[in-house]
Structure 1
Amino acid sequence: MDFSSKLYSIESELTQEDLDSLKFLCLDLLPNKKLLSIKSNLDLFKELEKHSLLEEDKYDLLAELLYIIGQHSLLRILGTNKWAMQETLKKNRTVSLYRQMLFQLYEDLTSEDLKSILFLLNIPKKYEENKKFLDILYYLEKNEQLSEDKLDVLEKAVSMVSQELLRKINDYKKTRVKENTSTQSLYDDKMKLSIEVVEQVSSQDRGMKSTVELVQHVSEAANGKDLMDKNTESCMSDLSLNEQSETEVYAMNRKHRGYCLIINNSEFMKSDPRLGTEKDADFLTNVFTWLGLDVQIRNELSTQQICDCLIDFKQRDQTERDCFVCCILTHGKSQAVYGTDNAFVHINKITSYFSTKNCPTLAGKPKLFFIQACQGKTHQGAHAIESDAVSSVEERKTKITIPDDADILVGMSTVDGYYSFRDIRKGSWYIQALCENLTKMVPKGEDILSILTKVNKDVSEMEYSKDRKTSMKQMPQPAYTLRLKLVFPIPLAPFKPLFQETN
């Protein structure tokens, strides 16, 4: 693919939001007036070319920009990937850490946070309307209220809204102090070496050395190449703002991606029906089919039938498959799920079917279990909200354990002892958040644990109240023995929903 074709392929995948992000990140690199007038990503690329920041076979800055905005899948067009960029950016960056820190604030800011910060910053109304946080940051910079060394105004507002966002500012400030200290130390060392060499040469018979030799000695000492390389690499490693280099990933290149088994129970002998569960089943089917898995659904299974179904799959030859996924949608109690007969099976028994000993053809491969079921007593929600729990006289508490064998992940919709919400029109909070984040984050090259962390955040921010006095929340919980990163290969086609959300 030639230079122009690469740029066109990248541009075709970028959105207007991406363009706004790229322009903000380039504010220190391009003339601001020209930059702010740019209307398309191709125009931005041309401006970068004009200033020799983007050339054929010189994609460093573009790759860095794509990495920062999370368009990791597009890095392959430039012949690199997320993991390689993490290593590269430890030693060489173009976008300032200051601007990257501001961009991270923008990405993590909620709409409610933005409203609060706008109020605290006392931004003029005419400028505040329909503006993004990036626009507000530019306004503060333009009016000299914000810069690398001037964070007080922003820091004061953020401190009253979000401690997590404040931590990012504090991390940047600590890193900047460390960088300045390291730079000054490097300068002092270079000057000391230069003086020592000059004094050494002066004390000797200068006739023994030519002018060229003298200059060479002083230059080599002042350059301090070995010292520079060592200090620079150490400093840039510290400036990564919590990035980690993790290059080992599970192989996902076999003949088949794997099975995705969905066990979906709606009707029960002694419990209320799980209305809305079909929404979860449909969404899971659509998403995992898009990810390349062979989805198979089993509806209305008794406890024995659940076990028989799992035994069937663990006995299959899965040598040519990359992974195994099992999604269970049912009622539940602490560390167990229910069949339609209201008998239960413990979660650790479910996962044990697929241990290395019991399922050797999946040895060393990731096995994922996503369980939408309450883990505590019933709490019946008003109107369209229900809880996936079963009231039972028998409340035996058993501790869930991940099998000794590695490569297993259990994603629970809620922590032990608590209920899990399901909307009868839209499906459960957990499964809907899981599916939505898979469709958004897999194309960016994110691993499964990063995705589940985002699911935790999204679900934890949801709430339901039977009345205006009592607020009910939910907190998912993943447990895992994965040894490597699990990154699903990016599907060739974009995700297409099977149904539209109704109001």
Structure 2
Amino acid sequence: MILFVFSSAVGFQRNRTCHNLKSWRSHGTFVACSCADLSFRDKIYVCKMASNVHWSMNDVHQKVLIRKRLELARNLCLEELLQYLVQENIVTDRMVEKVLYQPTAFSRNVAFLSILPKRGPNAYDAFKKALRETLQSHLADMLCEAEVQIHRARTVGKHVSLKSAIDITSTDTHGLDLEDGNSSLYVQSTTVDFFKTTRQCAYKMTSKPRGLALLINISVFDARANLEKREGSEIDQNNLSKLLHQLHFDITVLENCSAVEMIDQLQCFARNLKHSQLDCCFVAILSHGTQNSVYGSDGGKVDLNLIFQMFDNDSCPLLQNKPKIFIVQACRDIEEDVSDGPPISADNGSTERYQDLGQSLDDIGGKRLPTLSDMIIGHASLPGCSALRNTRHGSWYIQAFVKLMANHAKDKEITEILTLVNNFVRNKIPSSKAKYSSARGMPEFVSTLCKKLYFYPGVVDKQVVQ
């Protein structure tokens, strides 16, 4: 006796001897019958029906693949991924040949995406694992986010009552803007064609990881510092971490350190030997500040020029000719220091050397390089102005930076993106209920980059075609 199982258990009244299988087909019935009862054609049909039941992909997973089909078709790198799926018995060698026979990368990806939903309930999870194993984790993260959105749409009502909406927006009485935030953050991938057409005029940005990143977040201060807690700064930290992870950076986070500890950690970071093997460096500092310095948790001030000098061509030869990115989320008010903590300066107690950094030159390998070449520095505010922060969603500047980087890192270089950030923050209007309802923001950036700086998300050395 062989059991053949169809789609769903709908009752039937026919004799178990299979004289007319077509009538059972129309009912979608669970059927058990003897192999001898079936014609050869019906045996084939029953086997197909049984196969479909066992190999059907979860409907949510199918919807995710449909929703993200174009993005996947544009950005998948299939060679290693297909071999992983063969290893996991998801696809066969014959299927791989059929896919790779297609003339273009896009058509190969489309052919693969047409096959994948038919490869059983385990195919989707295997596909996501294959993406991570083949250095395409940004695509796996995209699929996970789409899953969350679909599940959320199923479980949450489509309409929110007016009362509920009012209750939500009235809970944060100190936020500057209650209508923004980063509920999802997904970095779109660069296309191979864009990479090939721009890489000659751009910095090399294909190492895995791209570079080392240091995030310094000072949100809680000692009582003697007389500085308020920076509520919402943890949101900035989390969003920056998500962004940098998807841009292939190796991230270190330093929280609530004193001014001396900040300098020590920055020096150790600048001297890390791994810089020599990587393509870029990223430093973000989130704290209170004045025009030319940022505060440690003890109220001590760290001169920003001192920080930049740690990474110049003289002090950090490991990063010569490589882009160095600094993002400073801090006020730049020209006010008397409200802290009783000691200011922090260079080891020799002097900051005179930083008064004209742009003209300082050093002999390096027979060539003369400007000391601060290949740097770009983004400030959350203009000199003499405050940087605005939402206690619920994070600072205006970091919100804009991570959103616009996620959307445009695939095909815009960093000065274009920071210009968009400037415009975004300048035009941002706070809620009428906000504490500083008349406040406006205006960031700025300073660049000594010598080439275009594209991040090429999704592109790594092993995928580069010479």
Give the TM-score of the pair, scaled to structure 2. Answer: 0.50
Matched residues in 2 for 1:356 and 1:377: separation?
Answer: 30
Residues 210, 279 of structure 2: 8 Å contact kept? yes
Matched residues in 2 for 1:302 and 1:264: separation?
Answer: 11
Q: Give the alignment of 1:66-77 within 5 angstroms.
A: 73-74=190-191, 76=192
Give the aligned partner of residue 322 of structure 2.
365
Matched residues in 1 for 2:104 and 2:272: separation?
Answer: 48
Structure 1 unpaired stretches of 5+: 14-70, 86-245, 379-388, 494-503
Give the aligned partner of residue 142 of structure 2.
none
Residues 230, 287 of structure 2: 8 Å contact kept? yes
Q: Larger helix proportion, structure 1 or 2?
A: 1
Structure 2 unpaired stretches of 5+: 1-99, 114-187, 344-350, 361-370, 461-466
Give how far 1:488 is off.
0.6
Matched residues in 2 for 1:82 and 1:474: separation?
Answer: 34
Deviating runs (4+, > 2 A) in structure 1? 1-13, 71-74, 80-85, 253-256, 389-396, 398-405, 463-471
- Residue from 268, 282, 290 that aligns with 2:221: 268
Give how far 1:253 is off.
3.0
Matched residues in 2 for 1:468 and 1:341: separation?
Answer: 27
Q: Give the alignment of 1:94-173 within 5 angstroms.
A: none
Matched residues in 2 for 1:460 and 1:400: separation?
Answer: 29
Q: Are residue 81 (structure 1) and residue 194 (structure 2) matched? A: yes
Give the aligned partner of residue 312 of structure 1.
268
- Residue from 388, 410, 425 that aligns with 1:459: 425
Give how far 1:487 is off.
0.6
Give how far 1:361 is off.
0.8
Call closer, same or farther: CA 1:401–1:432 in 2, change over 3 Å. farther
Give the aligned partner of residue 109 of structure 1.
none
Q: Are residue 286 (structure 1) and residue 242 (structure 2) matched? A: yes
Give SS of 1:332's match: coil
Matched residues in 2 for 1:10 and 1:344: separation?
Answer: 56
- Residue from 295, 298, 309 that aligns with 2:254: 298
Could you tell me which amino acid in structure 2 is paired with residue 299 of structure 1? E
- Cα deviations across residues 246-302 of structure 1 (Å, max 9, x unaligned)? 951111233531111000001112211001100000001111011110110000111
- Cα deviations across residues 394-432 of structure 1 (Å, max 9, x unaligned)? 999x97956733111110011100000111110000011
Give SS of 1:256's match: coil
Matched residues in 2 for 1:306 and 1:262: separation?
Answer: 11
Give the aligned partner of residue 438 of structure 2.
471
Give SS of 2:276's match: coil
Give the aligned partner of residue 350 of structure 1.
307
Kindly report the root-mean-square deviation, in angstroms, between the aligned alpha carbons of the 2 structures.
3.5
Matched residues in 2 for 1:453 and 1:481: separation?
Answer: 15
Matched residues in 1 for 2:434 and 2:313: separation?
Answer: 49
Residues 377, 419 of structure 1: 8 Å contact kept? no
Give the aligned partner of residue 448 of structure 2.
481
Could you tell me which amino acid in structure 1 is paired with residue 420 of structure 2? K
Q: Are residue 417 (structure 1) and residue 384 (structure 2) matched? A: yes
- Cα deviations across residues 413-469 of structure 1 (Å, max 9, x unaligned)? 1110000011111000001110111111112x2111111111111111113367899
Call closer, same or farther: CA 1:470–1:355 in 2, change over 3 Å. same
Give the aligned partner of residue 32 of structure 1.
none
- Cα deviations across residues 59-114 of structure 1 (Å, max 9, x unaligned)? xxxxxxxxxxxx9934x3xxx337849xxxxxxxxxxxxxxxxxxxxxxxxxxxxx
Could you tell me which amino acid in structure 2 is paired with residue 311 of structure 1? Q
Matched residues in 1 for 2:244 and 2:425: separation?
Answer: 20
Identity of aligned residues (%): 29
Could you tell me which amino acid in structure 1 is paired with residue 211 of structure 2? G
Could you tell me which amino acid in structure 1 is paired with residue 400 of structure 2? A
Call closer, same or farther: CA 1:260–1:462 in 2, change over 3 Å. same
Could you tell me which amino acid in structure 2 is paired with residue 338 of structure 1? Y
Residues 313, 372 of structure 2: 8 Å contact kept? yes
Give how far 1:6 is off.
2.3
Give the aligned partner of residue 406 of structure 2.
439
Could you tell me which amino acid in structure 2 is paired with residue 251 of structure 1? K
Call closer, same or farther: CA 1:468–1:304 in 2, change over 3 Å. closer
The higher-RCO structure (CA 8 Å, 6+ apart) is 2
Matched residues in 1 for 2:112 and 2:424: separation?
Answer: 29
Give SS of 2:214's match: strand
Residues 263, 327 of structure 1: 8 Å contact kept? yes
Residues 190, 459 of structure 2: 8 Å contact kept? no
Could you tell me which amino acid in structure 2 is paired with residue 457 of structure 1? N
Give SS of 1:262's match: strand
Q: Give the alignment of 1:392-431 within 5 angstroms.
A: 404-431=371-398
Residues 190, 456 of structure 2: 8 Å contact kept? no
Give the aligned partner of residue 133 of structure 2.
none
Matched residues in 2 for 1:248 and 1:5: separation?
Answer: 24
Call closer, same or farther: CA 1:6–1:310 in 2, change over 3 Å. same
Call closer, same or farther: CA 1:400–1:412 in 2, change over 3 Å. farther
Give how far 1:314 is off.
1.3
Residues 348, 400 of structure 1: 8 Å contact kept? no
Give SS of 1:409's match: strand
Give the aligned partner of residue 249 of structure 1.
202
- Cα deviations across residues 349-395 of structure 1 (Å, max 9, x unaligned)? 101001111111111101111000000168xxxxxxxxxx9745999
Residues 256, 320 of structure 1: 8 Å contact kept? no
Matched residues in 1 for 2:221 and 2:312: separation?
Answer: 30
Residues 72, 82 of structure 1: 8 Å contact kept? no
Call closer, same or farther: CA 1:267–1:390 in 2, change over 3 Å. farther
Residues 332, 390 of structure 1: 8 Å contact kept? no
Could you tell me which amino acid in structure 2 is paired with residue 330 of structure 1? S
Q: Are residue 375 (structure 1) and residue 332 (structure 2) matched? A: yes
Matched residues in 1 for 2:398 and 2:427: separation?
Answer: 15
Call closer, same or farther: CA 1:83–1:312 in 2, change over 3 Å. same
Matched residues in 1 for 2:256 and 2:218: separation?
Answer: 5
